[in-house]
Amino acid sequence: MAKIKSLAELKAMRENLQSNLDLREKSNNPDAMVQVKVAMATCGIAAGAKQVMEHMMEKADQLKLGVVFTQTGCMGYCHAEPTIEVKVPGKDPIVFGHVDNKKADEILEKYVMNNELVEGIIPVNYEKI
């Protein structure tokens, strides 16, 4: 490790390092953040959920959006995999189906950033505990 010789260097170091702990910092207070849950059961993985999740994480970083990504089990919409649930603070969660990279970008850019609705919403048909 190189020596830190000034306050500016310390700050720069922190900036650089911050992403390491991002995941933990975010989960400290997830309700204040946008939460994205990716259904990652066998069906989801088979339909490419993993790749979509990676892509979406990249994108969220690029857009400098504070998003918490979590993996979850099967949501029950195996017909519409990959499915993701997006919860913007203060709003009810919305589930999107058939999410590919393009759809993922759209969800982030339109729904999350500008509150525009995007196609592909699956009506939630049960109460979650």
Is residue 118 at the binding interface for another protein, with CB under 8 A as the rule? no
Does 63 help bind another protein (rule: CB under 8 A)?
A: no
Contact 42, 75 (CB under 8 A): no
Interacting positions 88-117 with another protein (CB under 8 A): none
State phi, psi for 70 to the nearest 5 degrees. Answer: -130, 150
Residue closer to another protein, measured from CB, 119 or 126: 126
Residue from 33, 37, 89 nearest 64 by CA: 33
Q: Report which secondary-structure segment, H or E, holds 67.
A: strand 67-72
Does 30 participate in binding another protein (rule CB under 8 A)? yes
Out of 27, 63, 91, 93, the only residue in the binding site for another protein (CB under 8 A) is 27
Residue 31 or 119 having the CB closest to another protein: 31
| Contact window for another protein (CB under 8 A) among 11-19, 92-100, 103-111, 116-124 | 11-19
Closest of 99, 74, 77 to residue 86, by C-alpha? 99
